[in-house]
Amino acid sequence: MNNNEVNVQNTQAENTACQNPAQECEQKHPGFVQMMPLVDILECADNVTMWFEIPGANSSTVKIEVKEKIMSIEAESSLRRNGKTIVFKREFQLSDRIDVEHITAKTKDGVLTLTLPKSESAKVHRIQVS
Amino acid sequence: MNPIMNNRNYLAHHNLSDLDRLFHAVFSDFNTFEPEMMSSSEFGGPSIEFSMTDDAVIATLPMPGCHPANMEIEVVGDWLTVRVKRERAALEKEDARFLRRERSCDDFEETIHVPAKVRGQETTAKYTDGVLTITMPKEVKKPGKHIVTVE
């Protein structure tokens, strides 16, 4: 594997204890149903961009947290399923090569876009041979 | 719910999961743990859901990342058709590569029976936070409540 690759790994940090996360969510937050948002992840030379589908959620209902290299995304949607509010939730383990301090996020039309810049040491430096 | 549409989306995402598994097998460093969570795709992809008020039938369709100009809505009698064109963004940079691609870019089309008689010409639609909401006024309003006093 290329040393310059920056991994963004799915994690099950919170879900290992429970086989059925929807049930777990129900216990933690009655009246909510938890769903995993679909994601596209694009890696470029300088950063990694992630697009999450969170229909019915917007900047005021999205929570993003990075703790001990685990990034949690939680977004409460206006959509309901079986009378319960849908909460989109997903966690990723970030590599050391992500500059956590400078992650930016925006939402538009139910899509959350996260830009995770690579730390200086992880960026690709191409040297021209003269 | 349209079973064909749902099935197609379901299969599309499951094929992607196979690719993911292959990807992770090759790049074992990823050590990715797929959460055994319900994902949007496991609910069968996007589908139209109805709710009712006294005056209208409201259809909602989660369709994140689209543009209203790419949406077509038709009401014929008590049948509703929704067509949405979705485009997948092209790679802007040569050195860019996708590590994961779960989002669908398939065009969406569904024709569904509206569970009440509605006035098609007065139907309105709005697109907010990636959710398309179609409001169809009912043909016959629910009769008002009349309280009759017994003398």
The yes-or-no verdict on residue A82 having pLDDT over 90 is no
Chain A residues whose CB is inside 8 A of the B37 CB are: 15, 21-22, 34-36, 89-90
What does the radius of gyration of chain A's CA atoms come to, in whole angstroms?
A: 17
Alpha carbon A7 to its chain's center:
13
Q: Which domains does chain B have, with CATH numbers?
A: 3-89+101-137 (2.60.40.790)
The yes-or-no verdict on residue A54 having pLDDT over 70 is yes
The yes-or-no verdict on residue B43 having pLDDT over 90 is no
- How many C-beta neighbours within 10 Å does residue B64 have? 26
- pLDDT tens for each residue of A37-50: 999 999 988 899 99
Q: Strand pairing partners for A50?
A: A41, A114
In this structure, what is the dihedral angle of CA atoms A25, A26, A29, A32, given to the nearest 10 degrees? 90
The yes-or-no verdict on residue B4 having pLDDT over 70 is no
Q: Pull the structure tokens for residue A125.
A: 């430096």
Task: Check A56 against B129: CB less than 8 A apart.
Answer: yes
Average pLDDT over residues A52-66: 96
Domain A8-119 has CATH 2.60.40.790: yes
Q: Which of B37, B40, B86 to mutate to test the interface with A (most CBs of A within 10 A)?
A: B37
- pLDDT tens for each residue of B9-41: 333 343 444 434 434 433 333 334 344 445 554
Domain boundaries, chain A: 8-119
In the prediction, which pLDDT does B20 show?
43
CB burial of residue A27 (10 Å; 0-12, 13-18, 19+):
exposed
- pLDDT tens for each residue of B81-130: 999 998 877 666 778 889 988 998 889 999 999 999 999 999 999 999 99
Among chain A residues, CA nearest to B31: A9
For tokens 């009912």, name the residue. Answer: B138
d(CA A93, CA A73) in angstroms, rounded, equals 12
Å from A12 to nearest chain B CA? Answer: 6
In the prediction, which pLDDT does B16 show?
40
Predicted-complex ipTM score: 0.75
